[in-house]
Amino acid sequence: MRLSILRRLAAPLCTAALCTAALGAAVSCGGSSGVADPGPPPPNTVDVFTPGNVFSPFSATVPVGGTVRFNISGAQHNVIFDHTLPGAPADVPVTTNGVVSRTFATKGTYEYDCTVHPGMSGQIVVQ
């Protein structure tokens, strides 16, 4: 299980451009992502990663009451939800390496952006 998580993290990181330019020496291909492996997610919890300046997966689905773990690594990222939809959780402040969890109590599709990186966005579908 831990190996499969590392593979998911490592594969998108190992494009030549990202490894040489964006991530530099902090992250090497196949090596540590810079954040501790959070281990397998508990029930009703899904992981979102930041391999380069994207959220992966772009769309994550949890049940009502479910939790999303934002595994932030590689660069500074935040998670700013569209608060026009009631039920959006608190934003995640700019984080460099860390795991921040948010729980979703209301059905809906919650879109979010990293305001550090224009175009870096994702969504959480709560069913």
In the complex, the residues that contact Cu ion under the rule CB under 5 A are: 77, 114, 116-117, 120
Q: Which is nearer to Cu ion, 61 or 121 (CB)?
A: 121
Which single residue brings its beta carbon nearest to Cu ion? 114
SS3 of the chain: the string is: CHHHHHHHHHHHHCCHHHHHHHCHHHCCCCCCCCCCCCCCCCCCEEEEECCCCCCECCEEEECCCCEEEEEECCCCEEEEECCCCCCCCCCEEEECCEEEEEECCCCEEEEEECCCCCCCEEEEEEC
User: Closest approach of Cβ 117 to Cu ion, in Å?
Assistant: 4
Q: Which is nearer to Cu ion, 116 or 125 (CB)?
A: 116
Q: Which is nearer to Cu ion, 66 or 89 (CB)?
A: 89
User: Closest approach of Cβ 49 to Cu ion, in Å?
Assistant: 12
